Amino acid sequence: MPSDQSTWLITVPQDGDTDGLLQELTSKLSQQSKTFSSSSIGQLYIPSFKTGTLDSLIALSEELPKHDAAFTTTVAKIVETLRNLLNNDPSKLAQHILVNEKSVDGYLLNDWHWNEERYGTQRGLRDMTDVLVKEMTSIDNVMKTKLNNYNLAKGSLVQLQRKKTGNLSVRSLADIISKDDLLQDSEYMQSVLVAVPKNLVKNWNTTYERLAAMVVPRSAAPIASDDDYTLFSVVIFRKVYDTFSQKCRENKYILRDFQFSADQIEREREELQTADTAEKELWTELLRLSEINFSEAFQVFVHLKVVRLYVESVLRYGLPANYVGIAVKPEPKTTKRTLTALQRHFSYLAARSQGRAKPKSGDSTNEDFVGEYQSLLDQEFFDFVLYEVPWIVT
C-alpha cells in the first residue's frame, strides 16, 4: 500500500489519447473524494531514453533504490536546515520551499517535463544516473560545509552570550567587578572570587576561614547575587591558593578566575558584536543557499524518480518504450479508495505486467530467476508502475 503522505508517480504504456486518459482518471478519482480536483493530478511527460541491454537495465534497477534513498535523505536534510533557520515557522518555510519559484505541488502536478537542456536524453541511462548522482552529491557536500560553518559561528556566539547572560558561576565578571573590590599591589596576599550556591551561603559564611590555613579572617564580602549564586570576594595568602581552590571544589563552591582590566569590558563587547555579525551573515548565506539547493535537489530527485519509472516500465512492459506518466496527490482520508480506483482502471494491463510480477509459489521454472533477482521482487507490484515522492516538506 503506497503511503498517504506522498505524491504517486505512475507510468503505463501509451495506448491511446493521453489527454483523454488524464480527464478520465480525474473524473473517476473525483468520485472517490469530494475534495479531489484537477489540481491533484497532472501529466508527467516521460522522454524516450537510450534503453540499453536487458542486463544493464536489471543492474540499474537494483542500484536505483539506493540512490533514491540517498536523494530523499539529502532533500529532507535541506528542508530540516530551512526549518531550523526559520524557527519552524510554517508560513515562512512555505516561502522558501519552492522549485523554480513554484510550490512542490505546482512543480509536480502541472504538466511536468524532463529538463532536456540540462539532462539531454542522448545520454545512456547509466550515464544519466551518474550525472544525477554527481549533482546531488555536490549539493550535499556544499550543504554540509556551509551548515558546519554556520553551526561553529552560532556556537561561538552562544558561548559569548552565555558569558553575558549566564549565572554568576559562568558569566563574565568584567562588568560586575570594580577595581575597589580587589586587593591591589600586595606581594603576599590576593583577592579571590567565589560563586557560592544560594543554598550553601550560610555554610560558606561559617566555614570559609577554615578552608585553608592562611585565609584572612572576616575578609569575605558579597559583591553580587542572582537566582542561583552569590559572588564573594575573599583575601587569602598566595601560597595557599592551590589548597583553597581544592577545598572550594570539594564544598561545591566555584572559584572564578579573574584579572581586573579596565579594557576588558570593551574587548568583550567587541567580541560579542563580531560574533553576532558573523552569525547573522552566515545565517543569511545559509538560508539563501538552502533555498537554492532545495530547488536544485528536488529537481534532481524527481528526475531520478522518472529514470526509475522508465527502467521499471521497460522491464515490465517491454518495447517500444512509449509510456504515459501521471502524478497523483491522494487525499489521506481516501487513499485506499484512490488506489482501488487506479487498480480497476488499469486492470487491463495485468497480462502485460506479468513479466515483473512475483512467480507463484512452487513454480520451479522461475526458481533461478527468483534467486538472481530477489531484491527486485521483494516489493509490492501493481498493474501500473508506481513510485512515491514523500511529503518531506510537511
pLDDT digits (tens, 9 = 90+) for 77-124: 999 999 999 999 999 999 999 999 999 999 999 989 999 999 998 889
One domain, residues 17 and 149: yes
Q: Kindly report which listed range (79-93, 143-157, 347-361) carries the lowest average pLDDT score.
A: 347-361
Determine contact, residues 192/244, Cβ cutoff 8 Å: yes
Give a yes or no: residue 171 inside a domain: no
One domain, residues 320 and 374: yes
CB proximity list for 374: less than 8 A, separation 6 or greater: none
One domain, residues 128 and 39: yes
Cα–Cα distance measured from residue 312 to residue 9, given in angstroms and rounded to the nearest whole number: 12
Give a yes or no: residue 1 inside a domain: no
Cα–Cα distance measured from residue 12 to residue 4, given in angstroms and rounded to the nearest whole number: 21
On the question of pLDDT at 377 being above 60, the answer is no
Determine contact, residues 13/317, Cβ cutoff 8 Å: yes
What letter does residue 358 receive in the DSSP assignment?
A: P
One domain, residues 193 and 148: no
Q: Provide the terminal-to-terminal Cα distance of the chain, rounded to the nearest Å.
A: 20
Give a yes or no: residue 65 inside a domain: yes
Provide, rounded to the nearest whole percent, the portion of the chain with pLDDT above 70: 90
Identify the top-confidence range among 62-71, 154-163, 257-266: 62-71
Give a yes or no: residue 216 inside a domain: yes
One domain, residues 132 and 24: yes
One domain, residues 57 and 92: yes
Domain count, the chain: 2
Give a yes or no: residue 299 inside a domain: yes
SS3 1: coil
Gyration radius (Cα) of the chain, Å: 34
Cα–Cα distance measured from residue 240 to residue 214, given in angstroms and rounded to the nearest whole number: 7
Residue 353's pLDDT is what? Answer: 66
Determine contact, residues 323/43, Cβ cutoff 8 Å: no
Instruction: Supply the mean pLDDT for the chain.
Output: 88
Which CATH number covers residue 345? 1.20.1460.10
Domain of 371, in residue numbers: 6-154+279-390
Average pLDDT score over residue span 204-233? 95
On the question of pLDDT at 251 being above 90, the answer is yes
pLDDT grade for 356, boundaries at 50, 70 and 90? low
Give a yes or no: residue 174 inside a domain: no
Place of cell 512475483: 358
Per-residue b/e over 104-119, b at no fewer than 16 CB within 10 Å? bbebbbeebebeeeeb
Give a yes or no: residue 71 inside a domain: yes
Residue 103's pLDDT is what? Answer: 92
